[in-house]
Amino acid sequence: MTYYFANKEEMVTAAAQSLFDEFDTLLDFSKVGIDVRTIIDQWLNWTKADEPDSWLALFQLLAHARHERAFADVLEQRYFRFREVFASILAKGQAEGTIRDDIDADLLADQISAMGDGWMMSQPIEPERFNPKRKQALLDAVITLISPPQPKSAKPASKGKRATSR
């Protein structure tokens, strides 16, 4: 495989570009409508795809990015682009009232990206932890976190004294 590339750095950079192309495909899927649930669901299912080890390789290569500037530049540019497009999708959802607007879309994109990265890293290592029921619960939790706050209802009547700490 290395004979297709001038050097190891070029090969690693091409691999990273290819993986980020999959991220782009994920976001392109959402151009039809704002469907953050589907984006996150696909994200959770990526490590079950044909080549789950490729994602682990990318995470391992991240440690080397600080020593290989060209590779670090690719990661920085492509991940920035992903977060930028994802933030614009979230901002559209905010404008439509389907995504909470009390937190900037770019901050939500950073938070969701960090959670997704953690899931992608953990799934191949702890597959039993990511059974279908739990994955659905994780997805539901993210949607709850980014949904517009519900109006506060009247405070419930006091149920007597509060418990005191000992």
How high is the mean pLDDT in each 10-residue block of the chain (166 residues)? 71 73 66 73 67 66 77 84 90 94 96 88 84 92 92 58 42
Q: Cα separation of 34 and 13, whole Å?
A: 31
72, burial (CB in 10 Å: exposed 0-12, middle 13-18, buried 19+): middle
Angle between helices 69-96 and 8-29 (to 10 degrees): 10
Residues 6 or more apart from 108 whose CB is under 8 A from it?
A: 87, 90, 99, 100, 146
pLDDT for residue 39: 80
Query: For residues 36 and 93, is the Cβ–Cβ distance under 8 A?
Result: yes
The ranges assigned to domains in the chain are 9-146
CATH superfamily for domain 9-146: Tetracycline Repressor, domain 2 (1.10.357.10)
Angle between helices 105-122 and 132-146 (to 10 degrees): 170
Q: Where are the beta strands (DSSP E) in the chain?
A: none
pLDDT for residue 105: 97
Query: For residues 91 and 84, is the Cβ–Cβ distance under 8 A?
Result: no
Query: ∠ CA 121-133-82 to the nearest 5 degrees?
Result: 40
* Helical spans, DSSP H, in 97-147: 105-122, 132-146
Q: Cα separation of 111 and 98, whole Å?
A: 17
